[in-house]
């Protein structure tokens, strides 16, 4: 059984062994479900690590959810 990690942007569970996107920040590796999440994290990592995550998908600009 593989331990899942949380995508810091959207909160989805990601398997580090199969995750297509990852980035290293301050010596720790973070994994993402999609390129949009990785890009959002790379742009402003502190936003997602400071505990200000509310569960809303503010970082998903690349997913075409514009109203």
Question: What local confidence, expressed as pLDDT, does residue 47 receive?
Answer: 93
Q: What is the pLDDT of residues 5-41, one digit of tens each?
A: 999 999 999 999 999 999 999 999 999 999 999 999 9
What gap in Å lies between CA 9 and CA 13, rounded to an integer? 11
Point out which residues pair with 5 in neighbouring strands.
Answer: 14
What is the structure's pLDDT at 38? Answer: 98
- For the chain, which residues make up each domain, given as ranges? 5-52
pLDDT, one tens digit per residue, over 45-64 is 999 998 654 554 544 444 44
């Amino acid at each position: 059984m593989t331990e899942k990690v949380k995508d810091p942007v959207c909160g989805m569970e990601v398997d580090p062994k199969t995750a297509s996107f990852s980035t290293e920040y301050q010596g720790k590796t973070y994994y993402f479900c999609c390129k949009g999440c990785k890009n959002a994290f790379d742009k402003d990592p502190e936003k997602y690590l400071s505990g200000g995550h509310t569960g809303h998908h503010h970082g998903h600009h690349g997913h075409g959810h514009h109203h």
